[in-house]
Amino acid sequence: MKRLLFSLVIVFALSTCASAQIEYIGFSLPEDASSGTPYQLEPYFFLHYFYVDVLYFFDLLDKVDLQTKMEMFAKILNNIREDYPVELVIKFDDWDEPLRVSYRVFASEGRQIVFMTTNFDLENQETLPAYTWECYAHIYYIFGDKLVNNYYLFSEEKEEVHMTDLNDLADFYLFDEREDNDHLIEDLLLAHINAGDEPLVSRFVGYLTLTQYYMVINELEKAGKRLAEAEGLFEELREKDKENWGALLTMTKEQVQVIAQIRGALLQDEE
């Protein structure tokens, strides 16, 4: 078994700031920790699930600064592998056990999957000393450079359900494993946004989905423009809608910045 290196990269002083609930954030990494992933994954999909399934789920969006989120994501993406898990460790001051979020690649029925496990007991809403089958977990399937969760695995039945809403259909095509429907995404979203009968909040969400699409195809200038349009519409939403959709806007804004940094780093490596 490989010797592990455990590093505490961020130590938070207890204060009146939003991060006061966190004592430390650390990582459990293999000794040969890497700065580049062995899997040719499009980073946006992994980033999206990291934001939704970890940062949002555990209410960390406002408790962790963007630079730390970038480091957390990079450590996980660059060190995920089959032979040993990469683990994110977060100690909250009022939790007995630190939260442990672990990622590892497995082979299942001839396909590679990413298995995310935690020590967070869903029923009792507490962290445990170790993972059990009652703990919060996710499975993501690797299809080429895409990471796909169970919800987005393509089926004609799912496709039929999403046909009634162009944004939902485009979102489904964006995150499913099929490439033959990707060329439809942009036109579907533009039709949705420009439809005269769509509510303001629906158009707002459409702009965010379009921003996601441009991040995936590496059109970051277009992503920035669509994000700005979404921000403009957000200011016009009712307060209740702002409460419901504010987190999605925050996540998308931060994801644009993270992806821009990743793309920039990749360009530097190529040079």
The answer to whether residues 86 and 145 belong to one domain is: yes
The answer to whether residues 136 and 27 belong to one domain is: yes
The answer to whether residues 90 and 188 belong to one domain is: no
Q: Provide the residue range defining the domain that includes 218.
A: 154-270
* CA–CA gap between residue 190 and residue 159 (Å, rounded): 19
The answer to whether residues 201 and 258 belong to one domain is: yes
Burial 205-218 (b: 16+ CB within 10 A, else e): bbbbbbbbbbbbee
Model confidence band, residue 34 (pLDDT cutoffs 50, 70, 90): low
State the average pLDDT over residues 68-77: 94
User: Which pLDDT does position 83 carry in this prediction?
Assistant: 83
Among residues 134, 150, 166, the one where a domain terminates is 150
Q: Is the pLDDT of residue 77 over 70?
A: yes
The answer to whether residues 250 and 159 belong to one domain is: yes
User: Which pLDDT does position 150 carry in this prediction?
Assistant: 94
What mean pLDDT, rounded, does the chain reach? Answer: 88
Q: Is the pLDDT of residue 33 over 70?
A: no
Q: Is the pLDDT of residue 225 over 50?
A: yes
How many residues appear in the chain? Answer: 271
pTM of the model: 0.88
* CA–CA gap between residue 132 and residue 116 (Å, rounded): 13
Q: Is the pLDDT of residue 153 over 60?
A: yes
* Beta strand 4-11 pairing with 22-30: antiparallel
Among residues 95, 126, 150, the one where a domain terminates is 150
Which three-class secondary structure state does DSSP give residue 145? coil
The answer to whether residues 9 and 122 belong to one domain is: yes
Among residues 150, 166, 187, the one where a domain terminates is 150
* CA–CA gap between residue 130 and residue 249 (Å, rounded): 34
The answer to whether residues 126 and 59 belong to one domain is: yes
The answer to whether residues 162 and 192 belong to one domain is: yes
User: Which pLDDT does position 18 carry in this prediction?
Assistant: 38
Reported as a single tens digit per residue, the pLDDT across 84-117 is 899 999 999 888 899 999 999 998 888 899 999 9
The answer to whether residues 110 and 231 belong to one domain is: no
The answer to whether residues 44 and 57 belong to one domain is: yes
4/204: higher pLDDT: 204
The answer to whether residues 50 and 117 belong to one domain is: yes
The answer to whether residues 210 and 101 belong to one domain is: no
Reported as a single tens digit per residue, the pLDDT across 48-63 is 999 999 999 999 999 9
28-31: list long-range contacts, CB under 8 Å, 24+ apart. Answer: 28/4, 28/85, 28/86, 28/87, 28/89, 28/100, 29/4, 29/5, 29/75, 29/79, 29/86, 29/87, 30/2, 30/4, 30/5, 30/79, 30/81, 30/83, 30/84, 30/86, 31/2, 31/3, 31/4, 31/5
Domain tally, the chain: 2
Q: Is the pLDDT of residue 2 over 60?
A: no
Q: Which residues pair with 8 in a beta bridge?
A: 26
Reported as a single tens digit per residue, the pLDDT across 181-215 is 999 999 999 999 999 888 999 999 999 999 999 99
